[in-house]
Amino acid sequence: MIAQEKSVKVSESEKITINLGLIDLGQIDLLVQEGFYSNRTDLIRTAIRNQLQTHAEVVKQTVARKSLVLGLQHYSRADLEAVRAAGHTLQIQVLGLASIGNDVTPELALATIDSVTVLGALHASTAVKAALAGRIH
């Protein structure tokens, strides 16, 4: 029912902050200095990708079990108006990025979205996020 839109402009990455112990950080800097990695970020990204690859089957099974949409899922105003006109509501479940159009009003979001579970990032207006705050898990 809800189509994925390729015209949505989104960042390919999300910034995160981590705290590391000084010994771990020193070891990372040593590996960078020795040329194993171009910088700290390169090592950290590589380590994360390796861990995700190690657990790829578990992720795959969990995505299927929880009926998560994998990747980008965009909900436009027209999509949500169609859901409302049909008398339905949505349970948004996404692993990746869920985005709600900037022209979606808080009232429309409340009328059409029962719950939001996003493992990754949710892009929506501040007003829509505030309206759905009690439904975001």
pLDDT tens digits, one per residue of 75-128: 999 999 999 999 999 999 999 999 999 999 999 999 999 999 999 999 999 999
pLDDT at 3 over 70: no
For residue 5, the model assigns a pLDDT of 44
User: Which pLDDT value is given to residue 9?
Assistant: 54
Q: Assess whether pLDDT exceeds 60 at residue 8.
A: no
Question: The pTM is what?
Answer: 0.70
Angle between helical axes of 40-54 and 56-65 (0-180°, round to 10): 60
pLDDT of residue 10: 56
Could you give the dihedral angle defined by the CA atoms of residues 20, 15, 5 and 99, in that order, rounded to the nearest 10 degrees? 90
pLDDT for position 11? 65
Q: Is the pLDDT of residue 48 over 70?
A: yes
Residue with the two structure tokens 């049909």: 86
The phi, psi pair for 76, rounded to 5°, reads -90, 170
Residue 67: pLDDT above 90?
A: no
Q: Inform me whether the pLDDT recorded for 64 exceeds 80.
A: yes
Nearest partner of 43 among 31, 55, 26, 56, judged by Cα:
31
Of the chain, the percentage scoring pLDDT greater than 90 comes to 84
Per domain, the residue ranges of the chain are 22-54, 57-135
* Average of per-residue pLDDT across 35-60: 96
